[in-house]
Amino acid sequence: MNSTKTINLKNRPNGMPELKDFDFITTEVPELQKGEVLLSTKYISVDPYLRGRMSDAPSYIAPFEINQPIVSGMIAEVIESKNSNFSAGEFVSGMLEWKETQVATTDGLLKVDANQAPLSTYLGILGMTGLTAYLGLTEIGKPKKGETLLVSGAAGAVGSVVGQIGKILGLRVVGIAGTDEKVEMLKSEFGFDEGINYKTTENMTKAIAEACPNGVDVYFDNVGGKISEAAFFNINKFSRTINCGAISVYNNTEAPKSISVQPFLIKKSSSMQGFVIFDFVDKHPAGVKQLTEWLSAGKLTYSETIREGFETIPQAFLDLFVGKNKGKMVVKL
Amino acid sequence: MNSTKTINLKNRPNGMPELKDFDFITTEVPELQKGEVLLSTKYISVDPYLRGRMSDAPSYIAPFEINQPIVSGMIAEVIESKNSNFSAGEFVSGMLEWKETQVATTDGLLKVDANQAPLSTYLGILGMTGLTAYLGLTEIGKPKKGETLLVSGAAGAVGSVVGQIGKILGLRVVGIAGTDEKVEMLKSEFGFDEGINYKTTENMTKAIAEACPNGVDVYFDNVGGKISEAAFFNINKFSRTINCGAISVYNNTEAPKSISVQPFLIKKSSSMQGFVIFDFVDKHPAGVKQLTEWLSAGKLTYSETIREGFETIPQAFLDLFVGKNKGKMVVKL
């Protein structure tokens, strides 16, 4: 019987996760049963939302178990198959365990075509990242041509796609990011109209007002916290906020406090809505089709940070919380 | 030329309004011009939202001017008319000045029928109060039979109507109020399933969980602040919060802080939306028709606190913020 490197959750992180919360062990690869496939990992997605599953607080998705492997989006190659729908040499995407090699049932596995697009994009712009950007913006944000879209975490995997889709849809797009280099990239690579470096800007409320002279109609919020407070001072009547993430507070050990949003929502007849991509499962195929069209037509570009080697996975995950990634962070094996 | 008692805004209140922020003066009643009516005030509505207009912070409606009369919803009798559509002896509702007698154009004046319902109800359950409850609950809350509705400020003018409409629509209805007497009234008079006294309950999160064993699907929020924090710990997947008011923070001099709602909204794919009744102007006639039907059929009851005398208006307004009203507060002249 073969064995494989595996990464387990060792402890539930207290606040910011640390390397010691992860355990590198060797586990056995069981014998392949009928209907199953043997997979060799190619790319592993690390995502901020995984932090939530490391806690045992109730959430939209069950927590990871202690001393069990972490699970995230992955691309793998089929090495051996006892399922007539999958053949050795094919590539699949799915929610898989942090292992170099694993046996999996084929529930939820999707074949991906290495000839149509680079394999890593199926974890990013053609995968959960792209769908989150597209469906969050269109289904919840309901943007209208000519409106102003503000994006926080704009240089991140989701944010950079949100901004580009905003431009395709005819919006004025302003992004917020944490370094001058990222802000420059928003404009030069992703076509944002304006960018704001929140780390060097003293008065964010004023900076947003200047970058959004007609106010903010749609706020795609990846970060929460103080940046969002500044955004709320600039929202327009009937504006929509898409609560996609709150990375700024994921590692807080106490429920974080912010300025109460209720008075802003009332004054502006404004809405906020949270979502996860699983809410729109029926819209995923059409979403992937649209994203693939835009990508093929050169209307969308994407940014990836690719780390290499199984051992780098936990650090790659930790680096998300200090903004070391540009665009989608994946680990290549 | 006649004169009339008038109440002006003297100062913009700093925090909680006080009697000294109002000025009782005598003003002249100008001569009636063609198209105008001379009105004698019968009932004056005092409402929490007026606090917002006393500040000069940007809002959905222009602030009151210093040394000018306060304006609110009123019922008046036509004393003299130079408008062929209005006759002496008729009653009207409209946004009018805090005066015993006034000359008004007929823009926005609606005739009301003293024989169909008591005149004060046109300021309450058949007026802005009833419409706020009905349209907020149905247009934003979109409740489905069998769901659980939580109402804060439940014994207030809007809250008590929201709960009753919830019962008509087949919901489990739980109300939060600030005295045992009010909680009792929610159940005995307004048909709420459960009531919670937030002033005597130590752990509101737990109390809401117990009163809402299936969680909260629709939260009609009249208060904001700490009560809303407790509510957020109990919201269901895809729940909707209607931000109708935030009376708990209207008098704060600094932007109030609360637990960040974003993580709750994301975890639960939940929405919040603020509104004012003017957002749904096209739905007002149908709303009044529905409310009148329910009222005539005995399906809706209402509670009023009626103060008497022009001099009592400012105090009646102040008393809203310490919960001295049950249901709609009006002043009768």
ipTM of the complex: 0.80
Q: With 90 as the cut, is the pLDDT of residue B107 above it?
A: no
Is the pTM higher than 0.80? The answer reads: yes
User: Is beta strand B101-104 parallel, antiparallel or unpaired with respect to B172-177?
Assistant: unpaired
Position A93 confidence tier, pLDDT thresholds 50, 70, 90: very high
Question: For residue A260, which residues of chain B lie inside 8 Å, CB to CB?
Answer: 224-225, 246, 249, 255-258
CB distance A272–B255 less than 8 Å? no
Position B115 confidence tier, pLDDT thresholds 50, 70, 90: confident
Q: With 80 as the cut, is the pLDDT of residue A103 above it?
A: yes
Q: With 80 as the cut, is the pLDDT of residue A47 above it?
A: yes
Work out the minimum CA distance from B195 to partner chain A, whole angstroms: 23
End-to-end CA distance of chain B: 22
Mean pLDDT of B204-209: 97
Burial of B296 (0-12, 13-18, 19+ CB in 10 A): exposed
Considering A101-115, B63-77, B253-267, the range whose residues carry the highest mean pLDDT is B63-77
Q: Which residue has the tokens 């003003």?
A: B27
Residue ranges of chain B that CATH labels 3.40.50.720: 128-278
CB distance B260–A271 less than 8 Å? no
pLDDT of the residue at B288: 87
Q: With 70 as the cut, is the pLDDT of residue B329 above it?
A: yes
Question: For residue B256, which residues of chain A lie inside 8 Å, CB to CB?
Answer: 259-260, 263
Taking the domain A3-124+302-332, which CATH number applies?
3.90.180.10
B220 and chain A in contact, CB less than 8 A: no
CA atoms within 13 A on the CB side of A182: 25
Residue B140 or B251, more confident: B140
Instruction: Write the residue in B249, B265, B267 that is nearest to A260 by C-beta.
Output: B249
Q: Which residue has the tokens 């084929």?
A: A106
Distance CA B214, CA B246 (A): 25
Q: Do residues A109 and A35 lie in contact, with contact meaning Cβ atoms separated by under 8 Å? A: no
Handedness of CA B300, B304, B310, B315 (dihedral sign): negative
Taking the domain B128-278, which CATH number applies?
3.40.50.720
Q: With 80 as the cut, is the pLDDT of residue B102 above it?
A: yes
Work out the minimum CA distance from B223 to partner chain A, whole angstroms: 9
DSSP reduced 3-state for B111: strand
DSSP reduced 3-state for A212: coil
Residue ranges of chain A that CATH labels 3.90.180.10: 3-124+302-332
Q: With 90 as the cut, is the pLDDT of residue A307 above it?
A: yes
CATH superfamily membership of A130-278: NAD(P)-binding Rossmann-like Domain (3.40.50.720)
Q: Give percent of chain B above pLDDT 70.
A: 96
End-to-end CA distance of chain A: 22
DSSP reduced 3-state for B15: coil
pLDDT of the residue at A248: 64
Distance CA B224, CA B248 (A): 6
Q: With 70 as the cut, is the pLDDT of residue B54 above it?
A: yes
Question: For residue A249, which residues of chain B lie inside 8 Å, CB to CB?
Answer: 260, 262-263
DSSP letter for each residue of A124-148: TTTSHHHHHHHHIIIIII---TT-E
Position A258 confidence tier, pLDDT thresholds 50, 70, 90: confident
Q: What is the mean pLDDT of chain A?
A: 93
Q: With 90 as the cut, is the pLDDT of residue A224 above it?
A: no
Question: For residue B152, which residues of chain A lie inside 8 Å, CB to CB?
Answer: none
Work out the minimum CA distance from B273 to partner chain A, whole angstroms: 4
Q: With 80 as the cut, is the pLDDT of residue B251 above it?
A: no
- For the ranges A19-23, A117-121, B52-56, B175-179, the lowest mean pLDDT is seen at B52-56
User: Is beta strand A328-332 parallel, antiparallel or unpaired with respect to A304-308?
Assistant: parallel
Q: Give percent of chain A above pLDDT 70.
A: 96
- Cβ neighbours of residue A188 closer than 8 Å, sequence gap 6 or more: none
- Cβ neighbours of residue A37 closer than 8 Å, sequence gap 6 or more: A78, A79, A80, A81, A82, A83, A86, A92, A103, A104, A106, A109
Q: Which residue has the tokens 């001295």?
A: B324
Question: For residue A237, which residues of chain B lie inside 8 Å, CB to CB?
Answer: 60
- Cβ neighbours of residue B132 closer than 8 Å, sequence gap 6 or more: B158, B244, B277
A142 and chain B in contact, CB less than 8 A: no
Work out the minimum CA distance from A268 to partner chain B, whole angstroms: 6
CA B247-B248-B250 angle, to 5 degrees, is 60
Among candidate residues B133, B182, B207, the one with its CA nearest the CA of residue B325: B182
CA atoms within 13 A on the CB side of B236: 17
Instruction: Give the chain B residue whose CA is nearest to the CA of A221.
Output: B262
Q: What is the mean pLDDT of chain B?
A: 93
Work out the minimum CA distance from B236 to partner chain A, whole angstroms: 10
Residue ranges of chain A that CATH labels 3.40.50.720: 130-278
Per DSSP, helices labelled H in A189-331 are: 204-211, 225-232, 262-268, 284-296, 313-319
Q: Do residues A149 and A175 lie in contact, with contact meaning Cβ atoms separated by under 8 Å? A: no
Instruction: Write the residue in B225, B268, B273 that is nearest to A265 by C-beta.
Output: B273
pLDDT of the residue at A157: 86
pLDDT of the residue at A249: 64
pLDDT of the residue at B59: 63
User: Backbone dihedral region of B83: left (phi > 0), alpha (psi from -120 to 50 degrees) or beta?
Assistant: beta
